Amino acid sequence: MTKGKRKILSKNKNFTVNGSLWIECNGERFFGPGPVELLERINETGSINQAAKQMQMSYKKAWEIINMLNTQSAQPLVITQTGGNSGGGSIITSETKEIIAWYQSLREKFKDFLKKETEELNL
């Protein structure tokens, strides 16, 4: 950090560099913490409805997120199965699990970046 910035910041204060990370598509949020959590909960429960309830989200909102993800991806991230004896359900694809793992790795790198910048800011 330059000396000028150090003069601006108060001494004996604890500054933090912070932020959130998401992927955009055509200038709009596409993939980030909320959709990732929803996908993980669908994977755990096998149900969009149950995943939405766990997140205290309306089913309509969850379905809008899933629809957006499926529409903007090269292939669906969530496969829905309607009706039948078991009442249907939803699954995420193996490709979806891969993009979740990649995103989580990206978030770890981002956290490391934020930590490094915070440390430098507080020197």
- Per-residue pLDDT of 66-88, as tens digits, reads 999 999 999 999 999 876 666 67
Average pLDDT value for residue range 89-107: 95
Kindly report the CATH number assigned to the domain that includes residue 79. 1.10.10.10
Query: Domain range spanning residue 32?
Result: 28-114
Instruction: Specify if 38 maps to a domain.
Output: yes
Per-residue pLDDT at 46 exceeds 90: yes
**Is 78 in contact with 42 (CB distance < 8 Å)?**
yes
CB 122 within 8 A of CB 115: no
Cα–Cα distance, 38 to 58 (Å, whole number): 12
Question: Average model confidence (pLDDT) for the chain?
Answer: 88
Per the domain annotation, does 107 fall within a domain? yes
Residue 91 lies in a domain: yes
Residues 6+ apart with CB under 8 A from 27: none
Q: Which amino acid is at 20?
A: S
Within a domain: residue 15?
Answer: no
Q: What is the pLDDT of residue 94?
A: 94
- Residue 67, token pair as written in the block: 């629809």
Check pLDDT > 90 for residue 2: no
